[in-house]
Structure 1
Amino acid sequence: MGITLAEEIVLLSLDDGSGETRRRQAAGWAAAGAILLELVMAERVSVAGKYLELRDTTPTGEELLDGRILSMEAWLRGRAKRRVTDWLTREQTKAVGAAVERLVERGLVAAEVHKVLGMFPQKRYPGTDGGAVERALRERLRAVVIEGAEPDERTAGLIALIHSTGLHGLAFPDRRRKEVAPRTAEMATGQWAADSVRTAIRDVQAAMVAVTAVTVAASFTA
């Protein structure tokens, strides 16, 4: 495995100049969904309807995923399954940070601290590899969405997450959303993955729509 889907989401969201995360809330939902989808593809978790179930706690060998397996095991508290929306809500504020830490460990971004107004420390994460990994990622997405290439399972899952969280502008900054949304929607509902993964994509998307709708509603009533 190369970098994880969550790390790919974060690479798309990091500003090349400042190293700061753009669309952080949406990126958080996408990264949380990406980790969950990756665990489904690794056959550690199953997602069906409104519920998820931890099926196998064997380490995958990927630090980011294995940390989430342990966290999910503790969160389940011996229960067979719990709601997908509850897990995503729990992970949304943590997923970007966890993915960024992994990118730092891989040497793909650097952790820098600067002071806002000369007083308040703020972290930012500029790229360190000249953008090679990000360019390859964007070329892969462009080949599928713009040029019509057939995706592999991971790329289809990534595009589905981009579509469901409205991150088209980060993934395709030189295109208007209406130019790419029909194709990303096709990826989100198409036959590009195994049945279990396709079902998980559908149900994770539905869960993200549910929790983001609640979050938006709460922001208007606060």
Structure 2
Amino acid sequence: MEPIENLGHQIVLLAIDSASGALRKSSKLGSTVATAVLAELVLQERVRRVPPTRVTPSRKIQVRDSRPTDEPMVDAMLADLTGRPDRDPRLIIKEPRDTYRDLAIQELLSNGWLALVSSSRLSVNRYRLPDDDRVNVARRLALQGFNDPKGSPTRAAYLAGMASVTGLDSEIAPDLRFFGRRKARSELIDRFWLLDELQARFSANTAVLVTAPASRQFGGLAPDKR
């Protein structure tokens, strides 16, 4: 069976620096790919978000259809959610850390859509795209979402939103300029609750860093006040 390309694969392809081969925004990419996989389950109507109640004031994710999708990475999350029902979407995005990012990279390598150039414990891995076709398809799809945040197809809008929240938007939509991209991001987040959850995840991380004691922010040493 021909491997299926999904949003998780596409956001990783968009994160590959075309010059250096390194992954851009690597600290955010784990949560972004987890969001992309969850978005695939939403798009395929395998899961749904349950409204809050008095008993459970936060919204939860419930599995509607646990049958395999024939997409290994998507099925991995589906199996996890099936085993742990009524999960908070924020935890689904946060807990896996880099699990789904690494799965996406492994699938891209296995399918021949990405090639590993160098790997070292002392430096970042570097990759090469065997051809530009797949990344160009992903760029065009995301650009469609940036150009029409409210009316573009759902898949295009999801990809654009994830790229924007992760900080990959300036290369994909340079003609929109800064304020145009900012406006598109706001409209995409308003359109999809899942993008709002991802934005909240990154905002929480920033808040923790800003409010952390100086000794934590500077690797255990307080900054020199001189």
Q: Given the two structures, how large is their TM-score scaled by the length of structure 2?
A: 0.77
Match of 1:18 among 20, 38, 54: 20
Distance in 1 between residues matched to 2:26 and 2:203, nearest whole Å: 16
Distance in 1 between residues matched to 2:111 and 2:15, nearest whole Å: 17
Superposed displacement of residue 144, structure 1 = 4.5
Superposed displacement of residue 148, structure 1 = 8.5
Question: Is structure 2 residue 87 aligned with structure 1 residue 87?
Answer: no
* CA displacement 1:127-147 (0-9 Å, x = unmatched): 112x11111221233345348
Match of 2:44 among 14, 31, 42: 42
Distance in 2 between residues matched to 1:216 and 1:149, nearest whole Å: 28
Q: Which amino acid aligns with 1:71?
A: D
Superposed displacement of residue 21, structure 1 = 0.7
Bigger Cα displacement from structure 2, 1-10 vs 81-90: 1-10
Question: Is structure 2 residue 196 aligned with structure 1 residue 206?
Answer: yes
Question: Is structure 2 residue 111 aligned with structure 1 residue 106?
Answer: yes
Shift of the 172–2 alpha-carbon distance from structure 1 to 2, 3 Å rule, reads farther
Q: Which amino acid aligns with 1:159?
A: A
Superposed displacement of residue 35, structure 1 = 0.7
Distance in 1 between residues matched to 2:145 and 2:203, nearest whole Å: 29
Superposed displacement of residue 121, structure 1 = 6.4
Superposed displacement of residue 102, structure 1 = 1.4
For 1:1-222, list aligned pairs within 5 A: 2-48=4-50, 50-74=59-83, 76=84, 80-115=85-120, 120=122, 122-129=124-131, 131-146=132-147, 150-173=151-174, 176-190=177-191, 201-202=192-193, 204-220=194-210, 221=212, 222=216
Q: Assess if the C-alpha contact under 8 Å between 1:29 and 1:165 holds in 2.
A: no
Distance in 2 between residues matched to 1:169 and 1:124, nearest whole Å: 21
Superposed displacement of residue 187, structure 1 = 3.8
Q: Assess if the C-alpha contact under 8 Å between 1:31 and 1:92 holds in 2.
A: no
Aligned partner of residue 134 in structure 1, secondary structure = helix
Q: Assess if the C-alpha contact under 8 Å between 2:30 and 2:100 holds in 1.
A: yes
Structure label with greater radius of gyration: 2
Aligned residues: CA RMSD: 2.7
* CA displacement 1:77-103 (0-9 Å, x = unmatched): xxx302111111112422221111111
Q: Given the two structures, how large is their TM-score scaled by the length of structure 1?
A: 0.78
Distance in 2 between residues matched to 1:143 and 1:149, nearest whole Å: 11
Distance in 1 between residues matched to 2:157 and 2:200, nearest whole Å: 21
Superposed displacement of residue 54, structure 1 = 2.0
Q: Assess if the C-alpha contact under 8 Å between 2:150 and 2:187 holds in 1.
A: no
Distance in 1 between residues matched to 2:201 and 2:157, nearest whole Å: 22
Q: Which amino acid aligns with 1:157?
A: Y
Q: Assess if the C-alpha contact under 8 Å between 1:143 and 1:149 holds in 2.
A: no
Aligned partner of residue 82 in structure 1, secondary structure = coil
Gaps of 5+ in 1: 191-200
Shift of the 6–205 alpha-carbon distance from structure 1 to 2, 3 Å rule, reads same
Q: Which amino acid aligns with 1:39?
A: L
Q: Assess if the C-alpha contact under 8 Å between 2:165 and 2:198 holds in 1.
A: yes
Q: Which amino acid aligns with 2:64?
A: R
